[in-house]
Amino acid sequence: MSERKGLVIVNTGDGKGKTTAALGVIFRAWGRGMKVCMIQFLKHEGGSWGEVRAAEKLGIDWIKTGDGFTWTSRDMDETVAKARHGWQAAQEKITQGRYDLLVLDEFTYLMSLKWIDSAETVDWLKANKPAALHLIITGRDAPPELIDYADLVTSMDKIKHPYDVGILAQPGVEF
Amino acid sequence: MSERKGLVIVNTGDGKGKTTAALGVIFRAWGRGMKVCMIQFLKHEGGSWGEVRAAEKLGIDWIKTGDGFTWTSRDMDETVAKARHGWQAAQEKITQGRYDLLVLDEFTYLMSLKWIDSAETVDWLKANKPAALHLIITGRDAPPELIDYADLVTSMDKIKHPYDVGILAQPGVEF
């Protein structure tokens, strides 16, 4: 067994920190000079998030495929089409072999909402993911097939959240 | 109530992602041009971690106070003394008002191992933390006083870990 292995990491659960921990790995990998690509599903195209600004400054590839979260979406068909197109874009990036680390942010929703098939998606990854590529997938409700396939799965669970006591999301910390 | 409030964030639990999510917030805050300081307790001074390299490149203040995890420590008194000295250094940074975001990494252990008193520590924070300062504290077994004081508490819980199947920690991803 080789020491170097591309890990499949899943950050799931209902709490904060799923995307944030993926950003932490990006920070760490960038520190080691690794080639990194972030592919964001569902998140708003127009957002000027702290992480997007950081990625721009650092020259990290950052692809936004979505038009916002489904529950704020005015045109559901377009949301689904964009998400599926995003998965095709991700498949290209995965097979290209240009990256050491790829993050598929909020990707679980495509499977949990049945826009793409979980078993087919995992089978595709098993057949096509380069052995050395680290892959991080975030989002709630990670399907069992994905958990089965992954090397590292963490559930981020809420114990206490500031929204509960009426504190708004703070720039630079939560987005 | 003002929209801008310095949040107290606690990342606890037995899983991966506590420090990593703090790194993600650092990445995000740096992207917004915020002033950030990381204070690491217990972690090895000698380590050349991906995140330390990234922080050096980005000019993020990074203070290592420890001499390694307690369970690998050959000289326990020195470990305790270094940790307590680290807390003094952190107190200075907190009251100085030079930062928008301060991370106290692995800080919970000082309280759970009774090297410093949890209630006193939280009382000190209540009296001295500038209102606008965001503070992130990581580590297992966050004491109840800290959870009570915090605005946002997340438990990172292990569902599956690669060590379980004999896969070693991968550079750039886990350190």
Per residue in B13-23, pLDDT (tens digit) is 999 999 999 99
CATH node for B8-130+149-155: 3.40.50.300
Q: Which amino acid is at A67?
A: D
Q: What residue in B sits closest to A166 (Cα-Cα)?
A: B1
Tokens 């979980």, located at residue: A118
Residue B172 has pLDDT above 50, yes or no: yes
Q: Tell me what the mean pLDDT of segment A10-31 comes to.
A: 95
Reduce the DSSP state of residue A40 to 3 states and report it. Answer: strand
Decide: residue B72, CB within 10 A, 0-12 exposed, 13-18 middle, 19+ buried: exposed
Q: Characterize A110-137 residue by residue with b for buried, 16 or more Cβ atoms within 10 angstroms of its Cβ, and e for exposed.
A: bbeeebeebeebbebbeeebeeebbbbb
For the record, the structure tokens of A9 come out as 């990491």
Q: Tell me what the mean pLDDT of segment B163-171 comes to.
A: 77
Q: Tell me what the mean pLDDT of segment A94-122 comes to.
A: 96
End-to-end CA distance of chain B: 40
Decide: residue B133, CB within 10 A, 0-12 exposed, 13-18 middle, 19+ buried: buried
Contact B151 A134 (CB under 8 A): no
Give the E-state strand segments of A54-174 in sequence order. 61-64, 101-105, 134-138, 152-160
How far is it, in rounded angstroms, from Cα B161 to Cα B159? 7
Q: What's the pLDDT band for B152 if we cut at 50, 70, 90?
A: very high
ipTM: 0.87
Contact A159 B162 (CB under 8 A): no
pLDDT of residue B1: 41
Beta sheet of B152-160, edge-to-edge order: A61-64, A36-40, A101-105, A134-138, A8-12, A152-160, B152-160, B8-12, B134-138, B101-105, B36-40, B61-64
Give B115→chain A minimum CA distance, Å: 25
Which of B5, B7, B19, B20 is most worth mutating to test chain A (most A CB atoms within 10 A of its CB)? B20
DSSP assignment string, B70-84: GGG-S-HHHHHHHHH
Residue B126 has pLDDT above 90, yes or no: yes
Dihedral in degrees, nearest 10, Cα atoms A130, A147, A33, B68: -140
Q: Angle at CA B23, nearest 5°, toward B22 and B27? A: 120
Residue B70 has pLDDT above 90, yes or no: no
Q: What's the pLDDT band for B160 if we cut at 50, 70, 90?
A: confident
Q: Which of A72, A152, A13, A95 is nearest to B173 (CA)?
A: A152
- Beta partners for residue B140, in sequence order: none
B18-31 vs A18-31: helix crossing angle, rounded to 10: 80
How far is it, in rounded angstroms, from Cα A39 to Cα B143? 37
Which of A1, A18, A27 is most worth mutating to test chain B (most B CB atoms within 10 A of its CB)? A27
Contact A27 B32 (CB under 8 A): no
Q: Does domain A8-157 have CATH number 3.40.50.720?
A: no
Residue A82 has pLDDT above 50, yes or no: yes
**pTM of the complete model:** 0.90
pLDDT of residue A1: 41
Residue A48 has pLDDT above 80, yes or no: no
Which of A52, A134, A162 lies closest to B151 in CB terms? A162
Calculate the average pLDDT of chain A.
89
Q: Which residue has the higher pLDDT, A168 or A32?
A: A32
Largest separation between any pair of C-alpha atoms in chain B: 51
Residue A2 has pLDDT above 50, yes or no: no
pLDDT of residue A5: 87
Which of A7, A31, A154 lies closest to B15 in CB terms? A154
Q: What residue in B sits closest to A170 (Cα-Cα)?
A: B4
- Beta partners for residue B61, in sequence order: B37
Tokens 């689904």, located at residue: A80
How far is it, in rounded angstroms, from Cα A66 to Cα A107? 11
Q: What residue in A sits closest to B18 (Cα-Cα)?
A: A21
For the record, the structure tokens of A168 come out as 């708004």
